[in-house]
Amino acid sequence: MGQQSEGETIVAGRECGTCSMCCKLPGIPYLDPPKPPGQWCRHCRPGRGCDIWSSRPDGCIRFNCDWRKNARLGDEWRPDRCGFLLTRTSETSPYEVLVEPAKPDAWRKEPYYSGLRRVAAIVAEHGFPVVVAAGSRRWVLLPDREVVISSEHLASGLRIFRDIAAPGQPWQIEFIPGS
């Protein structure tokens, strides 16, 4: 949906084409009215694009999913092909896997699941987790396992850590209420 912003690199040839998944999968708070996750934006004509393209909000202009920015993700990772979208809201937020509600198991299929575990291993070393969102269900994907996020923690922030003085120790999760 976006265009290249300053300081951002789009991989050559990574065109959105008929994909409009970023107009459906994320919640978009700056739209009027705000759009909930997993529902089409009222301005989107799936497969054809945005009805208000020339006047779409700045947030839409700036947004590019990770498939457009990350050369290590092959063409099969385009969101309308794989059934989920990879993105990160900010430098301090988790790496998000937003799954198409009609294909809730898309992220568990191969080669995606193995690829996501590798992503989890990379981002964990930088101190942040991968969170998978499929409908109302959430998981933290760790390099060594996945953990269901219970309903009591859905609104919490989280961090992951492990004891670097004891090699081989499993990753731990801390939920941070109200953050």
Can you give the binding site for ligand SF4, defined by CB under 6 A?
A: 1-2, 16, 19-23, 28, 41, 43-44, 50, 52, 56, 60, 64-65, 67-68, 78-79, 85
How many CB atoms lie under 10 A from the CB of residue 69? 17
CB of 68 to ligand SF4, least distance (A): 5
Question: Residue 159 to residues 36, 63, 77, 124, 126: CA-CA distances in angstroms?
Answer: 25, 25, 26, 10, 11
Indicate the burial class of 82 (C-beta count within 10 angstroms; 0-12, 13-18, 19 or more): buried
CB of 16 to ligand SF4, least distance (A): 3
Q: Pick between residue 54 and residue 179 the one whose CB is nearest to ligand SF4.
A: 54
DSSP state at residue 23: G
Supply the minimum distance, in Å, between the C-beta of residue 177 and ligand SF4.
31
> Partners of 132 in the beta sheet?
97, 139
- CB 35 → ligand SF4: shortest distance, Å? 7
Sheet holding 137-141, edge to edge: 84-88, 95-99, 130-134, 137-141, 146-148
d(CA 123, CA 132): 14
Nearer to ligand SF4, 67 or 107 (CB): 67
* Other CB atoms within 10 A of residue 124 CB: 20
Give me the least distance between CB of 178 and ligand SF4, in Å please. 29
